[in-house]
Amino acid sequence: MRCPDFRSQHLAWLDASLAPLPTVAMRAHADDCARCKRYDLLLRTGLLLARHHAPLTPSRRFRGALASRLA
């Protein structure tokens, strides 16, 4: 597997929607390629942070300003 192939299939791999053979190839590539291993780690870390972060609530002032600009 080449790095561009790894990156193009990465989200499907994270979603566990790849067939077994591509899944094995993705794991093998991530184990052997330092750049793709880092790419995988960064994306997984970002997703983990996003999933566990409290929802952001805009202030009333921001919502009012946004509504004004949209109108």
Instruction: Give the pLDDT score at 30.
Output: 95
pLDDT tens profile 23-65: 999 999 999 999 999 999 999 999 999 889 888 889 999 999 9
Backbone torsion region of residue 16, taken as left when φ is above 0, otherwise alpha when ψ lies between -120 and 50, otherwise beta: left
How far apart, in Å, are the Cα atoms of 25 and each of 3, 20, 40, 41?
Answer: 11, 9, 14, 17
0.75 surpassed by pTM:
no
CA distance 20 to 71: 51
CA distance 7 to 26: 10
